[in-house]
Amino acid sequence: MSIDRVPMTPNGYKKLQEELRRLKTVERPEVIKMIEYARSLGDLSENAEYETAKQRQSFVEGRIQELESKLGRAEIIDPAELKNKSRVTFGLRVKLENIETGETVSYQLVGPDESEPENGLISITSPIGRALIGKQVDDDVEVHAPGGIREYVVLEIV
């Protein structure tokens, strides 16, 4: 059985590590205190504070497990170390022109956990990310997005 690797940039790996540390050192202790307080209120069968604290605990523990798994399977790819920048690959930045509007956009292809489209970070698993992989400068790119088909041309790969 193979373990799926999770591609991420060094920055994405660091962000997940920071979230995991915060969950373990801040969130988890806070939830424990919430549960202890709720228990001190008496009857747990009709105790909304207790139920809320237990739900929060379940969320925090689930997220800790998820992050530990992703970090354990992380395949860190540093864009600065990529030699071949003739084709769009994970970690690289690409400048595109929308063929219809003439608008230019710039994206960096990152792992799903790092995606922040509003900041120019798009997941390699997104429709545009999948369409861009392997493209070269001057290639046309057809993106099948939820809002319809969009066409771009690759202007630059950095």
Domain boundary residue, one of 37, 56, 76 = 76
Query: Looking at the domain assignment, is residue 149 inside a domain?
Result: yes
Indicate the DSSP class of residue 19. Answer: H
Please check whether residues 144 and 88 belong to one and the same domain: yes
For residue 134, the domain's CATH number is 3.10.50.30
pLDDT at 1 (0 to 100) = 39
Query: Looking at the domain assignment, is residue 46 inside a domain?
Result: yes
**Residue 46 to residue 57: CA distance in whole angstroms:** 18
pLDDT at 3 (0 to 100) = 64
Domain boundary residue, one of 20, 46, 76 = 76
Q: Which of 75, 105, 104, 100 is nearest to 90 (CA)?
A: 75
Q: Is the dihedral of CA 45, 48, 53, 59 positive or negative?
A: positive
| φ/ψ (deg, to 5) at 15 | -65, -40
**Total number of domains in the chain:** 2
pLDDT at 2 (0 to 100) = 47
Query: Looking at the domain assignment, is residue 1 inside a domain?
Result: no
pLDDT along the chain (158 residues), means of 10: 77 95 97 91 81 94 96 92 88 94 94 92 93 94 89 94
Please check whether residues 59 and 108 belong to one and the same domain: no
Query: Looking at the domain assignment, is residue 126 inside a domain?
Result: yes
For residue 51, the domain's CATH number is 1.10.287.180
Please check whether residues 69 and 95 belong to one and the same domain: no
pTM here is: 0.80
What residues make up the domain containing 148?
79-157
Please check whether residues 60 and 117 belong to one and the same domain: no
Please check whether residues 125 and 84 belong to one and the same domain: yes
